[in-house]
């Protein structure tokens, strides 16, 4: 079963607004990563947060991680039309033996209207 | 660096035909992943190689699927015989080392089996 589940499945906002996407997972993790996918393209890594970190920033991105609730959120501030894409969380689980494997959620489709 | 290279970008074939997808990882990366993405199932890990050796192939759907990595700069994913339900986008990704690192994705191969 999917390790990461994003919420909401789709999000539509106006340019300039903030976008928040959430991710929940089931097992213990080494880290959690967020990726972006533009239509018809491959995934691009955005940010990685380790299990001992609670918050991380990168430009207009802010990621939080709550390991007690097994959840993470991605906040994009001051959104732009170019942020329109699907966003995926991926967990690097410590459960099982396959180091390096990531398990992806089904993504949040973000639409930013100009 | 050119990034992860995949070919072909699009493939249309008829049911029963053999399909071969190709991937060239980033130079110096020694772990390679094959994924399949569909609307219904999201992004699924098919197989994971480290130093050209298959480490985890538990995601390979059935015997019709096979993957090889004859050297550090080339991998193939073969489907024989292909079926309409194999229609999907197939991604290849690579990382340096073996661990919980960010993954670098190729642009994908869109496969349509008629």
Query: Is B4–A102 a contact, with Cβ atoms under 8 angstroms apart?
Result: no
Angle made by CA atoms B102, B105, B107, in degrees to the nearest 5:
160
Is A65 near chain B, with CB under 8 Å? no
Q: How confident is the model at residue A3 (pLDDT cuts 50, 70, 90)?
A: low
The stretch A75-81 carries a mean pLDDT of: 97
Q: What are the tens digits of pLDDT across the range A8-41?
A: 999 999 999 999 999 999 888 889 999 999 998 9
In this structure, the number of other CB atoms found within 10 A of the CB of residue A74 comes to 25
pLDDT at A114 over 80: yes
Q: What are the tens digits of pLDDT across the range B80-112?
A: 999 999 999 999 999 987 777 899 999 999 999
Nearest neighbour of B43 by CB, restricted to A45, A98, A104:
A104
Which DSSP string do the residues of A74-113 spell out, in sequence order? EEE-S--GGG-EEEEEEEEESSSS-TT--EE---EEEEEE
Query: Is A45–B104 a contact, with Cβ atoms under 8 angstroms apart?
Result: yes
Six-digit token pair at B23?
Answer: 């991937």
Six-digit token pair at A61?
Answer: 């991105």
In angstroms, the separation between the Cα of residue A40 and the nearest Cα of chain B is 8
Cα–Cα distance for residue pair A7/B43, rounded to 1 Å: 16
Cα–Cα distance for residue pair B107/B84, rounded to 1 Å: 22
In angstroms, the separation between the Cα of residue A47 and the nearest Cα of chain B is 8
In angstroms, the separation between the Cα of residue A63 and the nearest Cα of chain B is 15
- Among residues B95, B96, B113, B109, the alpha carbon closest in space to that of B22 is found at B109
Query: Is A99–B102 a contact, with Cβ atoms under 8 angstroms apart?
Result: no
- The mean pLDDT values, 10 residues at a time, for chain B of 114 residues are 92 97 96 94 92 91 94 96 97 86 94 98
Cα–Cα distance for residue pair B19/B17, rounded to 1 Å: 6
Query: Is B55–A98 a contact, with Cβ atoms under 8 angstroms apart?
Result: yes
Give the pLDDT confidence score for residue B35 in this predicted structure: 96
Q: How confident is the model at residue A96 (pLDDT cuts 50, 70, 90)?
A: low
Give the pLDDT confidence score for residue B97 in this predicted structure: 78
Nearest neighbour of B48 by CB, restricted to A30, A101, A107:
A101
């Amino acid at each position: 079963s999917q390790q990461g589940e994003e919420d909401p499945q789709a999000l539509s906002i106006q340019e300039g607004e903030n976008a928040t996407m959430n991710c929940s997972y089931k097992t213990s993790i080494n880290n959690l990563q967020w990726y972006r996918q533009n239509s018809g393209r491959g995934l691009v890594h955005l940010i990685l947060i380790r299990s001992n970190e609670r918050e991380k920033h990168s430009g207009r991105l802010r990621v939080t991680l709550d390991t007690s609730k097994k959840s993470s959120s991605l906040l994009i501030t001051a959104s732009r039309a170019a942020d329109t894409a699907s966003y995926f969380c991926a967990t690097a689980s410590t459960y099982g033996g396959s180091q390096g494997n990531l398990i992806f959620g089904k993504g949040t489709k973000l639409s930013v209207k100009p | 660096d050119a990034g992860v290279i995949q070919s072909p970008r699009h493939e249309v074939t008829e049911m029963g035909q053999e399909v071969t997808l190709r991937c060239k990882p980033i130079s110096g990366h020694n772990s390679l992943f094959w994924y399949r993405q569909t609307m219904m199932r999201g992004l699924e890990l098919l197989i994971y190689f480290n130093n050209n050796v298959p480490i985890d192939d538990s995601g390979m759907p059935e015997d019709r699927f096979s993957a090889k990595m004859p050297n550090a700069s080339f991998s193939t994913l073969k489907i024989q015989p292909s079926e309409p339900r194999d229609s999907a986008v197939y991604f290849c990704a690579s990382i340096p080392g073996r661990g919980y690192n960010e993954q670098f994705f190729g642009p994908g191969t869109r496969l349509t089996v008629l």
